[in-house]
């Protein structure tokens, strides 16, 4: 109850609400334009809000953060360019929906369930920060590695018909992530003497290429540049239909919050895992997954927004940022003389309440802005493709360039676009590659750490695996892989038929 009493003054403080709204509006704008990221916007805000009161700064930053994570879905749905890794999963079903002329529906679901996810994550932050921290602390390096592997094993089966092909794509992603200076010894690895590669493959240009540019090339190949992407139908969706996904969404939110609380795992993993679960638990999706199932959008958007609250937990209680944006928010704290850590929640209750209040207000603005913007923005798909495709290409180029002002990144975008085009054509899927690219570095570091820790133990195998979390993840990963082997798959379905007969 203290919690709500603590937040109340902020809810009725007009200045706080307005600043939060301003942040939300900026977040909507920044998140929806490929190449502008939420972390970039927060970084700018930090220098702007330097002289402000702490609460004012937090209001604006939380507004940007919450709405920015959602609005990545807008470009993902409308033009198949995920603005950030977290919205990659949204493209899988969102873009097909837009092509069917149901962009409005896709955006509506994205907005509503992003709202649900944000509120869920923030409430978890408010009520369960301590237990979640304790749980996150139980994760060992091996567990981080296995969690990533589990994510890759799941996604390999989702976005392409052939499991082996999906895994090849994921593997390629991990391989590409290893390029650059090694994080432990500091020697160049797999750079083949190309100097700009020392810093590694930049993620956002690669994403823009894999999705946006590859889509342009595919459309050109099909030769269907006449006509529009889709017509815009504004069908009315009754609240009762919209509400139906709520129970499952809460499950995705739980996944999102937990994964968000693991430092370094971050939003894309949460979205992928939730999507994998959706594939498992939704028996009769409105359309097959990958062809425009709203259930897929619900999974992705509720999980990635629930990550916000999750990522803030270790940032506040351990001073370890869960993702790029929280790392920047952390610096806001230092600038304002606050020291996150185990005693933060007790010592700085006022700031804690300001964060929660800002986040919850931001969620409300997310819903408002999302519902207001969806019908207007969804008209984009009605633009004839022969005009839209060139524009999307220019956006891809700018988006790749804007991240760090290097022409090299535009080259990366181009390379990944062509790569993505061929991967898709041959049924390998680009989503597994994305996840591999995002997770590869973490997998490498944690695997070596785990081996290093175990190498000095009396029984190395026991030190590696004999822990409840590790065993669970190991079994889950192994089961996912085995059950997806074609032979086993056939045997299982035969068994099922027998039983039902």
**Footprint on residues 329-388 left by other proteins (CB under 8 A):** 330-331, 334-335, 337, 339, 341-343, 384-387
Contact set for other proteins, span 86-115 (CB under 8 A): none
Picking from 78, 420, 446, the residue whose alpha carbon sits closest to that of residue 230 is: 78
Q: How far is CA 202 from CA 105, 189, 267, 357, 449, in A?
A: 33, 16, 17, 34, 24
Exactly one of 15, 127, 130, 164 binds other proteins (CB under 8 A); that residue is 164
Q: How far is the CB of 287 from other proteins (least distance, A)?
A: 22
Exactly one of 3, 6, 11, 46 binds other proteins (CB under 8 A); that residue is 46
Exactly one of 86, 105, 158, 165 binds other proteins (CB under 8 A); that residue is 165
Q: Give the chain's radius of gyration (CA, Å).
A: 22
Exactly one of 8, 194, 349, 394 binds other proteins (CB under 8 A); that residue is 394
Report d(CA 19, CA 45) in Å as an integer.
12
Q: How far is the CB of 65 from other proteins (least distance, A)?
A: 15
Q: Does the footprint of other proteins cover residue 395 (CB under 8 A)?
A: yes
Picking from 108, 387, 98, 106, the residue whose alpha carbon sits closest to that of residue 232 is: 98
Nearer to other proteins, 36 or 307 (CB): 36
72 and 82 in contact (C-beta within 8 Å)?
yes
Terminal Cα distance for the chain, rounded: 55
Report d(CA 217, CA 392) in Å as an integer.
11
Q: Does the footprint of other proteins cover residue 321 (CB under 8 A)?
A: yes
446 and 142 in contact (C-beta within 8 Å)?
yes
Exactly one of 37, 140, 154, 378 binds other proteins (CB under 8 A); that residue is 140
Note the residue count of the chain: 501
Q: What are phi and psi of 470, to 5 degrees?
A: -65, -45
Q: How far is the CB of 72 from other proteins (least distance, A)?
A: 17
SS3 183: coil
Structure tokens at 353: 């309440």
What binding mask, one character per residue, do residues 168-207 give for other proteins by CB under 8 A, x or -? Answer: x--x--xx--x--xxxxxxx-xx--------x--------
Nearer to other proteins, 281 or 372 (CB): 372
Angle at CA 356, nearest 5°, toward 355 and 357? 95
Nearer to other proteins, 94 or 314 (CB): 314
Q: How far is the CB of 137 from other proteins (least distance, A)?
A: 4
SS3 384: strand
Residues in the interface with other proteins (CB under 8 A) total 102
Report d(CA 435, CA 457) in Å as an integer.
32
Contact set for other proteins, span 251-310 (CB under 8 A): 263
Q: What are phi and psi of 352, to 5 degrees?
A: -60, -45
SS3 428: coil
Exactly one of 13, 53, 128, 220 binds other proteins (CB under 8 A); that residue is 220
Contact set for other proteins, span 423-482 (CB under 8 A): 425-426, 443-445, 447-449, 451-453, 455-458
Among 70-78, 106-114, 136-144, 238-246, the segment contacting other proteins (CB under 8 A): 136-144
Nearer to other proteins, 88 or 413 (CB): 413
169 and 436 in contact (C-beta within 8 Å)?
yes
Q: How far is the CB of 302 from other proteins (least distance, A)?
A: 26
User: What count of other Cβ atoms lies within 10 Å of the Cβ of residue 290?
Assistant: 19
Nearer to other proteins, 93 or 444 (CB): 444
Among 46-54, 76-84, 294-302, 353-361, the segment contacting other proteins (CB under 8 A): 46-54
Q: Does the footprint of other proteins cover residue 62 (CB under 8 A)?
A: no
SS3 139: coil
Among 105-113, 304-312, 327-335, 472-480, the segment contacting other proteins (CB under 8 A): 327-335
Q: How far is the CB of 246 from other proteins (least distance, A)?
A: 28
């Amino acid at each position: 109850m203290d919690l709500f009493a603590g937040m109340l003054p902020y809810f009725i403080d007009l200045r706080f609400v307005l600043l939060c709204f301003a942040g939300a509006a900026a977040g909507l704008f920044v998140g929806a334009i490929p190449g502008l990221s939420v972390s970039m916007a927060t970084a700018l805000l930090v220098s702007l809000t330097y002289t402000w009161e702490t609460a004012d700064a937090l209001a604006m930053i939380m507004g940007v953060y919450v709405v920015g994570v959602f609005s990545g879905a807008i470009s993902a749905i409308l033009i198949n360019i995920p603005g950030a890794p977290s919205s990659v999963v949204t493209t899988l079903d969102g873009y097909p929906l837009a092509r069917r002329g149901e962009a409005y529906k896709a955006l509506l679901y994205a907005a509503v369930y992003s709202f649900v996810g944000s509120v869920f994550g923030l409430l978890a932050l408010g009520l369960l920060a301590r237990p979640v921290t304790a749980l996150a602390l139980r994760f060992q390096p091996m567990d981080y590695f296995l969690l990533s592997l589990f994510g890759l094993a799941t996604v390999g089966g989702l976005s392409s018909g052939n499991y082996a092909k999906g895994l090849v794509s994921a593997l390629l992603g991990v391989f590409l992530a290893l390029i650059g200076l090694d994080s432990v010894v500091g020697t160049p690895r797999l750079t083949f003497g190309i100097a700009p590669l020392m810093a590694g493959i930049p993620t956002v240009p690669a994403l823009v290429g894999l999705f946006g540019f590859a889509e342009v090339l595919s459309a050109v190949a099909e030769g269907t540049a006449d006509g529009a992407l889709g017509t815009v139908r504004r069908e009315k969706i009754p609240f009762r239909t919209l509400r139906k996904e709520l129970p499952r969404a809460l499950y995705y939110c739980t996944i999102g919050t937990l994964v968000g609380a693991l430092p370094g795992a971050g939003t894309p993993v949460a979205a992928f895992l939730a999507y994998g679960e959706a594939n498992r638990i939704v028996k009769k999706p409105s359309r097959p997954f990958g062809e425009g199932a709203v259930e897929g959008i619900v999974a992705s958007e509720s999980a990635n927004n629930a990550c916000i609250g999750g990522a803030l937990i270790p940032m506040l209680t351990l001073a370890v940022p869960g993702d790029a944006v929280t790392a920047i928010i952390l610096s806001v704290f230092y600038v304002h003389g606050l020291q996150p850590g185990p005693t933060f929640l007790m010592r700085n209750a006022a700031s804690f309440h300001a964060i929660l209040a800002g986040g919850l207000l931001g969620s409300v603005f997310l819903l408002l802005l999302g519902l207001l913007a969806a019908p207007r923005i969804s008209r984009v798909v009605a633009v004839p493709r022969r005009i839209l495709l060139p524009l999307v290409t220019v956006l891809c180029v700018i988006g790749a360039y804007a991240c760090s002002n290097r022409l090299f990144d535009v080259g990366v975008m181009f390379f990944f676009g062509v790569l993505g085009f061929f991967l898709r054509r041959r049924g390998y899927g680009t989503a597994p590659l994305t996840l591999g690219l995002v997770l590869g570095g973490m997998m490498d570091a944690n695997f070596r750490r785990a081996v290093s820790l175990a190498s000095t133990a009396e029984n190395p195998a026991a030190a590696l695996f004999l822990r409840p979390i590790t065993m669970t993840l190991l079994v889950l990963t192994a089961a996912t892989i085995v059950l997806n082997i074609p032979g086993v798959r056939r045997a299982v379905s035969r068994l099922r038929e027998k039983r039902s007969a």
